[in-house]
Amino acid sequence: MGVLDHVSEYFDCSSHGSSKRHKSLQTVNVRVLIDCEGCERKVRRALEGMKGVRDVTIEANAQKVTVVGYVEPNRVVARIIHRTGKRAELYPFVPYDVVAHPYASGVYDNRAPVGYVRNTEYDPHVSRLARASSTEVRYTTAFSDENASGCVIM
């Protein structure tokens, strides 16, 4: 490290006086109805012009837009709605193997792409079994009709 680098650290006021927090690099998945190549082009142009966006990937079959960059998820959704006029929401589906009970009420969705189910981690409207702990699962399966040796009284 040279003398000028050492001295410049003392006079650099960009990192010390700034109270603005830097956004972290993140991946945002958004669900947007994409019918044709024109819709895809319109969504791509709206997002590529956004400050902080590094990469835009569009999967038309899954109705999924993936944005990588220094952006906030809510601002990405708002930008798509404002610039394209299309309805957009944060992508509500996660891979099948991430959810503990993929066939519980409120988790399985016919509209989800193959291999995906609805994300229930933060949704209070889905069944409690979808978010159940291992203790709750043991109690609910102990008295199940499929578990013949679980309860002798039945």
What is the average pLDDT across 78-86?
A: 93
Query: Residue 43's pLDDT is what?
Result: 94
Q: Which residues contact 91 (CB under 8 A, 6 or more apart)?
A: 29, 30, 31, 64
Same-domain check for residues 68 and 100 = no
> Is 68 in the same domain as 30?
yes
Q: How many CB atoms lie within 10 A of CB 100?
A: 15
Answer whether residue 127 shows pLDDT above 50. yes
Residue 19 scores a pLDDT above 50: no
30 Cβ contact partners less than 8 Å away, ≥ 6 residues apart: 64, 65, 66, 67, 73, 76, 77, 80, 88, 89, 90, 91
Judged against a pLDDT cut of 90, whether residue 119 lies above it is answered with no
Q: Which domain holds residue 123?
A: 96-142
Please give the residue that has the higher pLDDT: either 103 or 122.
Answer: 103
- Mean pLDDT score across all residues of the chain: 76
Q: Does residue 8 belong to any structural domain of this protein?
A: no
Q: What tokens were used for 48?
A: 């590529």
Is 71 found in the same domain as 121? no
pLDDT score, position 110:
77
Residue 151: band (very low, low, confident or very high) from pLDDT cuts 50, 70, 90: low
Residue 17, pLDDT score:
46
Whether pTM > 0.85 for this model: the answer is: no
> Does residue 110 share a domain with residue 58?
no
Burial label, 106 (beta-carbon count in 10 A; 0-12, 13-18, 19+): middle
Question: Does residue 118 register a pLDDT over 50?
Answer: yes
Would residue 72 count as lying in a domain? yes
Higher pLDDT, 54 or 14: 54
